[in-house]
Chains A and B, each alone.
Chain A
């Protein structure tokens, strides 16, 4: 740890690891389980070294049995533990979707409030590394659709470092999405950053001409777009949703009340996406604030292709965001 007042450079991956380490040090009910989290060090290197520090009971390698080990996480949570379950990617989480939806998200309600499920599930999401369709999808909206769970998408180093503690403190299931292209992102991390508020979106950059709204792996593209727009004399506000369920429509509405224009960026397919939900909210709640139709920049409606230029064409890119903002500003 650095001395107070100075800023330490870290990566998104290390920030996540530090959060896991802190969680396990401070509460012995917390344990991590998932495929290759232990000996291998996590398939994206997030949990490297934790096995040595906490031992195989608390950093638990599982077989390839997503439904079984997520379900086991639910059971352990019911019995008073605080499991953190890692699923390698959201693509594979579909094998466990039944447990997440029909058990984790539902037990509290079905039991008339008797069975809260304090479970945290982490998984990687997103495209951009030429891994082809079965390793590249953004299915956050599938989870954001489900009442009974909280869905988080840390996009910054601070959120990667500090979202886990409040997620573990939540009595209900929390799903955390880590975008694969962010793991190597690096920068200074304030040593005593404030604890993250999981109920509110964050205005990452103030502006008055247009609201650029996104989450997760698209945030760096938003900043790049905002820089380009600034050079064109358009002062864009960047809003990071950070929590996809419950969606903080209030912060978005307040931003749109200032800028009167909205561009929503989502790497997922447009149809039925988080961007679709947000656009509907804006139509319902901010209709009279809007001076232009809501613009959406989303992933193309195609399984993500392997070939590099097709993959690039399938994903939101900075140029497309800038163009959408110019259309909105008119």
Chain B
């Protein structure tokens, strides 16, 4: 969680310095979701993510330097500089990352799960998406298909109470999302998304159920983003008191408190982890600064596989 937090804080600085560009969506406040859910997954499982995916990618084990280089638009980035912050991919880690079309990742996630099912592989596909995405037809069509075909799919709804500037109650006639998901005939429950242990426990239970062959499961994680929707957002639609209230439930702070109460030597440990993470991020920034840019002659690479590498003459 700390790695995600510090990585993104550095992103803010780099964005302000115009080192990274485009739309950048921060995960700060929601770290317990990515970390807790990933703890329940194995390396063979697949993860499908959204445009708010730095946390998912880091929790999945993508190296910070590959992500940072991507945001710098460098060849060493995990998507070769073509994707940027919103489109992180790493097939070697089965991270089918960043879709910026809200709910766009849901139907393909069902397909990944279907392939595993058809081949009898005991794997799970985990798809992250927001409360906003829950309003799209794509979600409902996917939930129906997954339940109908008993697909090994974990649907993880990050309910941070807002879709850009639109509050949950302004986008959903019925705001109990877990209940609505349950109507498709799949186990569904809501979890405190600010408590990493509760998230991990719920995710483990769901993943065990899926591996046991009981079809798709749905988790609604009640969480909150401490920052604006994206670096462009003036955040005029939220009440400062509300933000402060949620900050008092900071998942990192809560975990630290709990460990301290249990008598663990958290403070020395934390200082050590902070130093290690700071080094790691310094290194990632440094490497990105020095990494090469893709030559313009390679613009037309990766448009079709057969022609990869060939320069298309227009």
Q: A residues within 8 Å of B by Cβ?
A: 35-36, 39-41, 43, 61, 63-68, 91-92, 95, 129-135, 270, 298, 300-303, 305-310, 313-314
Contacts and interface: CB of A to CB of B under 8 A. Distances in A.
Contacts of A301: 300, 303, 312, 314
Interface string B1-41: 00000000000000000000111000000000000000000
B164 A43 contact: yes
Contacts of B102: 64, 92
B303 A36 contact: no
Minimum-distance CB pairs A-B, first 6: A40-B165, A307-B73, A306-B84, A63-B135, A307-B81, A63-B171
Given A41-B236, A132-B22, 12 more contacts: A39-B170, A40-B236, A43-B164, A64-B132, A64-B133, A64-B136, A64-B163, A91-B101, A92-B101, A134-B99, A310-B81, A310-B294
Contact of B87 (A36, A134, A310): A134
Nearest to B232: A43
B135 A308 contact: no
Given A132-B87, A134-B101, A305 B82 contact: yes
Contact of A63 (B81, B82, B104, B132): B132
15 contacts: A39-B237, A65-B137, A67-B137, A131-B23, A131-B84, A132-B82, A132-B84, A134-B87, A301-B314, A306-B81, A306-B84, A307-B82, A307-B294, A313-B296, A314-B299
Contacts of A305: 81-82, 299
Select the residue from A41, A130, A134 with max chain B CB neighbours within 10 A: A134
B133 A133 contact: no
Contacts of B270: none
Nearest to B230: A43
B273 interface: no
B299 A302 contact: yes
Interface in B56-109: 73-74, 79, 81-84, 86-87, 99-104
B293 interface: yes
Contacts of A35: 163-164, 166
B205 interface: no
B283 interface: no
A277 to B, nearest CB: 18
Contacts of B172: 63
Contacts, number: 124
Contacts of B296: 309-310, 313
Interface of B: 21-23, 73-74, 79, 81-84, 86-87, 99-104, 132-133, 135-138, 163-166, 170-172, 236-237, 293-294, 296, 299-300, 303, 312, 314
Contacts of A313: 296, 299
B21 A308 contact: yes
Contacts of B100: 132, 134-135
A92 B164 CA distance: 15
B166 A39 contact: yes
A133 B83 CA distance: 7
Nearest to A44: B232
Nearest to A132: B84
Contacts of B74: 307
A306 B89 CA distance: 14
A65 B93 CA distance: 32
A95 B137 CA distance: 9
A135 B23 contact: yes
Given A64-B102, A302-B299, A305-B299, A130 B164 contact: no
B23 A64 contact: no
A21 to B, nearest CB: 19
Given A40-B237, A134-B100, A307-B73, A64 B171 contact: yes
Nearest to B75: A307
A114 to B, nearest CB: 28
A36 to B, nearest CB: 5
A169 B164 CA distance: 32
B98 to A, nearest CB: 9
B162 to A, nearest CB: 10
Contact of B137 (A41, A43, A68, A306): A68
Contacts of A270: 314
A91 B104 CA distance: 12
A146 B299 CA distance: 31
Given A63-B163, A310-B294, A130 B22 contact: yes
A184 to B, nearest CB: 13
A135 B138 CA distance: 19
B73 A308 contact: yes
Contacts of A39: 165-166, 170, 236-237
A306 B101 CA distance: 16
Contacts of A64: 102-103, 132-133, 135-136, 163, 171
Contacts of A129: 21-22
Select the residue from A66, A92, A130 with max chain B CB neighbours within 10 A: A130
A132 B21 CA distance: 10
Select the residue from A43, A92, A301, A306 with max chain B CB neighbours within 10 A: A306
A131 B83 CA distance: 9
Contacts of A306: 21-22, 73, 79, 81-84, 87
